Amino acid sequence: MKYVALVYYQESIINRMSEKEWHDLNQECIAGVERLTEQGKFVTGQPLQPIETATTVRVRDDEVLISDGPFAETKEQLAGFYLLEANDLNEALQLASRIPPARFGSIEVRPARELPPKD
Amino acid sequence: MNTGRHINEIYKQYSRRVQATLIRLLGDFDLAEEVTQEAFTAALRQWPQQGVPENPSAWLITAGHRRGIDHIRRRQTARHNQPLLADDESATPETDTDHIDDDLLRLIFTCCHPGLAIEAQLALTLREVCGLTTEQVASALLQKPATTAQRIVRAKRKIKEARIPYEVPERRELPERLENVLKVIYLIFNEGYSSSSGDEIVNLGLAREAIRLASLLAELLPEGEVFGLLALMLLQDSRRNARQDDNGDLITLEEQNRDLWDHEQILSGLTALTKALELTPTAPYTLQASIAATHAQASGTEDTDWARIARLYEALYREVPSPVIALNRAVAVAMHGTPAEGLKLIDDLASHKAIQNYYLFHAARADLYRRSGDLSSARAAYQRALALTQQGPEQRFLSQRLAQLDNA
């Protein structure tokens, strides 16, 4: 079964890191992905650029509305995602707990939903 | 003409275009700005001796590009500790100055990209397209320089990291994107015309920048609404010397000395309006410019074609159904007919919540009550209006009207 692990953290924590700390964190993530891949648990994933690069698209009355942001007043920002293959939530949570930013941010784990069959 | 003065002229004429092309060639706003300055510095050094080249902008672009490549290499070398590349191939750029106008247009559309916050679009446009310094932008927009600087830095970073493309939108997207560019220009104009708080109504610098931007855009992209907006701003701004008395107090259109209107600028406005009417006769800016033109062509309130103005507002309301436009239509109807007819239309608007907090809604009601002789209703409405405006001159105007009622 597929789970999405959404990685959130306060970007301010990252911004305060030294170059060495940032480098080490990235290397740790690379190693983590390698391990998940070997176990056959990693479907795909991607870290994201900071929230200030975000742009939102909506369509209302056939009109495409583009805006800067979102800049919701939340403490933590979405920083990346993993699509994991796990037997159950417990396994997914156990895998997610080893995602390095879990130590200073949070990982939201949600089962992926399949679209209904095509008519 | 001496070469130094000549270079100064060339700077005014070409620096924005040279920089716009360098942004495309180098893919970096800040680097492009730096090397544009360097290219002009080199020109100041070399041209007095060697003479001004036949195609100055091509020379400047080539010089700037070469320097930009050098900077990029030096950065890469510093990062990777690699020896400097020996081949010089990429240091001789092919410089296509044919596309220089397209680059300026690319720059405008990039600065006015809806993925940037609207405040950032304004600041970036003034900074990059108009060539104002960050301090000038901040003072024009009544912001702290640090706030403006941060906004600009953030916007540039987003352009780079989210990869907002440096391009003129394709035909399919052009109408919506152009609408946004025109909105930014008109916001700049209005920011100049009526700063939302403070004591000065007219900030000539910003109004002039907005007009300059629209004329430039009309040259690069001759669409109907570009001429419509240009005409509208030229006509509105032609009244700048008549809008305020020596104390900075507001003078209504009705009471303005029309000899103080800039008649040459009115003619330019009418010329732009003619083009707009050929291309997009019922588009919003064109309609608003037509209204401004009707005022501009009258010698006073009495011989103003109010019936035409009411019809134009009606057409505008069909395009943009906003209560503010309905309010203006009501005033035109009252001027054409009786205050009671206008008041009836205004009362129909009272259900719009937003307009209840709009000081001009109450000021217009007050004025019509005053004209119809219902002084106590007029007084109450003026007081409502007064409570809702923060601008010094407008507050003084409303206080004066109240005082006149008390003396009546």
CATH numbers and ranges of domains, chain B: 3-84 (1.10.1740), 317-408 (1.25.40.10)
Chain B positions in Cβ-Cβ contact with residue A60 (cut-off 8 Å): none
Chain-centre distance for alpha carbon B156: 21
Chain B positions in Cβ-Cβ contact with residue A54 (cut-off 8 Å): 162
pLDDT at B140: 82
For residue A60, the cross-strand partners are A63
Chain A touched by B293 (CB under 8 Å): no
Name the residue in chain A with its Cα closest to that of B161. Answer: A53
Q: Does the distance separating the beta carbons of A68 and B116 come in below 8 Å? A: yes
Q: Does the distance separating the beta carbons of B176 and A63 come in below 8 Å? A: yes
Q: Does the distance separating the beta carbons of A63 and B114 come in below 8 Å? A: no
pLDDT (tens digit per residue) in A34-72: 999 999 999 999 999 999 899 999 999 888 899 998 876
Confidence tier at B200 by pLDDT (50, 70, 90): low
Q: Does the distance separating the beta carbons of A66 and B162 come in below 8 Å? A: no
Q: Does the distance separating the beta carbons of A67 and B161 come in below 8 Å? A: no
Provide the 8-state DSSP code for A105: S
Separation between Cα atoms, residue A101 and residue A29, nearest integer Å: 9
pLDDT at B78: 75
Separation between Cα atoms, residue A86 and residue A89, nearest integer Å: 7
pLDDT (tens digit per residue) in B111-163: 999 989 999 999 999 999 998 999 989 888 888 999 999 999 999 999 988 88
Which residues on chain A place their C-beta less than 8 Å from a C-beta of chain B?
49-50, 52-55, 63-69
Chain-centre distance for alpha carbon B14: 21
Out of B117, B120, B158, closest to residue A53 by CB:
B158
Chain B positions in Cβ-Cβ contact with residue A52 (cut-off 8 Å): 154, 157-158
Average pLDDT across chain B, whole number? 89
Q: Does the distance separating the beta carbons of B176 and A68 come in below 8 Å? A: no
Phi and psi, residue B2, nearest 5° = -75, 160
Q: Does the distance separating the beta carbons of A49 and B162 come in below 8 Å? A: yes
| Rama region for B352: left / alpha / beta (φ>0; ψ in -120 to 50; rest) | beta
Chain A touched by B162 (CB under 8 Å): yes
DSSP A41-90: -EEEEEE---GGG-EEEEEETTEEEEEE----S-SSEEEEEEEEE-SSHH
Q: Does the distance separating the beta carbons of B158 and A52 come in below 8 Å? A: yes
pLDDT at B90: 43
Per residue, the 3-state secondary structure of chain B, as one string, reads CCHHHHHHHHHHHHHHHHHHHHHHHHCCHHHHHHHHHHHHHHHHHHHHHHCCCCCHHHHHHHHHHHHHHHHHHHHHHHHHCCCCCCCCHHHCCCCCHHHHHHHHHHHHHHHCCCCCCHHHHHHHHHHHHCCCCHHHHHHHCCCCHHHHHHHHHHHHHHHHHCCCCCCCCCCCCHHHHHHHHHHHHHHHHHHHHCCCCECCCCCHHHHHHHHHHHHHHHHHCCCHHHHHHHHHHHHHHCCHHHCECCCCCECCHHHCCHHHCCHHHHHHHHHHHHHHHHHCCCCHHHHHHHHHHHHHCCCCCCCCCHHHHHHHHHHHHHHCCCHHHHHHHHHHHHHHCCHHHHHHHHHHHCCCCHHHHCHHHHHHHHHHHHHHCCHHHHHHHHHHHHHHCCEHHHHHHHHHHHHHHHHC
**What's the gap in Å between the CA of B326 and the closest CA on chain A?**
23
pLDDT at B203: 63
Quote the tokens at residue A102: 């879990």
**What's the gap in Å between the CA of A66 and the closest CA on chain B?**
6
Name the residue in chain B with its Cα closest to that of A67. Answer: B115
Which residue in A49, A53, A65, A67 has the most chain B C-beta atoms within 10 A of its own C-beta, making it the best mutation to test that interface?
Answer: A53
Burial string for B125-135 (b: 16+ CB within 10 Å, else e) reads: bbbbbbbbebe
pLDDT at B195: 52
* Mean pLDDT for the stretch of residues B382-408: 88
Nearest to B129 by CA among B7, B15, B6, B8: B15
Q: Does the distance separating the beta carbons of B161 and A50 come in below 8 Å? A: yes
Spatial contact of A87 and A78, defined as CB atoms under 8 Å apart: no
Out of A49, A52, A63, closest to residue B154 by CB:
A52
**Widest distance between CA atoms in chain B:** 88
Chain A touched by B183 (CB under 8 Å): no
pLDDT at B91: 41
Nearest to B234 by CA among B173, B292, B314, B153: B292
pLDDT (tens digit per residue) in B64-73: 999 999 999 9
Spatial contact of B92 and B25, defined as CB atoms under 8 Å apart: no
Where do we find the tokens 């706030």? B147
Confidence tier at B83 by pLDDT (50, 70, 90): very low
Sign for the CA dihedral angle at B136, B141, B145, B149 comes to negative
Chain A touched by B117 (CB under 8 Å): yes
Out of B120, B162, B176, closest to residue A64 by CB:
B176
ipTM metric: 0.73
Separation between Cα atoms, residue B328 and residue B321, nearest integer Å: 12
Q: Which helix (H) or strand (E) holds A97?
A: none
Separation between Cα atoms, residue B270 and residue B85, nearest integer Å: 58
Burial group, residue B199, by CB count within 10 angstroms (0-12, 13-18, 19+):
exposed
pLDDT (tens digit per residue) in B201-246: 556 688 999 999 999 999 999 999 999 999 999 999 999 999 888 8
Provide the 8-state DSSP code for A102: G
pLDDT (tens digit per residue) in B298-347: 999 999 999 999 999 999 999 999 999 999 999 999 999 999 999 999 99
pLDDT (tens digit per residue) in A63-105: 889 999 887 667 899 999 999 999 998 899 999 999 999 999 9
Q: Helix, strand or coil for residue A109?
A: strand
Distances (CA, A) of A5 to A8, A10, A107: 10, 17, 6
Residue B302 amino acid letter: E
Nearest to B328 by CA among B300, B283, B353, B295: B295
Residue B164 amino acid letter: I
Spatial contact of B76 and B33, defined as CB atoms under 8 Å apart: no
Separation between Cα atoms, residue B296 and residue B149, nearest integer Å: 39
What is the β-pairing status of strands A106-111 and A2-9? Answer: antiparallel
**What's the gap in Å between the CA of B180 and the closest CA on chain A?**
11
Q: Does the distance separating the beta carbons of B157 and A67 come in below 8 Å? A: no
Chain A touched by B157 (CB under 8 Å): yes
Q: Does the distance separating the beta carbons of A66 and B161 come in below 8 Å? A: no
**What's the gap in Å between the CA of A69 and the closest CA on chain B?**
8
Query: In this prediction, what percent of chain B has a pLDDT beyond 90?
Result: 67
pLDDT at B150: 95
Chain A touched by B114 (CB under 8 Å): yes
Which residue in B109, B154, B158 has the most chain A C-beta atoms within 10 A of its own C-beta, making it the best mutation to test that interface?
Answer: B158
* Mean pLDDT for the stretch of residues B52-68: 95
Q: Does the distance separating the beta carbons of A55 and B162 come in below 8 Å? A: yes
Chain A touched by B336 (CB under 8 Å): no
pLDDT at B99: 65
- pLDDT for B101 beyond 80: no
Chain A touched by B177 (CB under 8 Å): no
Q: Which helix (H) or strand (E) holds A30?
A: helix A19-38
Phi and psi, residue B364, nearest 5° = -65, -45
Note the pTM of the prediction, 2 decimals.
Answer: 0.83
Confidence tier at B406 by pLDDT (50, 70, 90): confident
B185 or B85: which leads in pLDDT: B185
pLDDT (tens digit per residue) in B338-377: 999 999 999 999 888 888 888 999 999 999 999 999 999 9
**What's the gap in Å between the CA of A47 and the closest CA on chain B?**
14
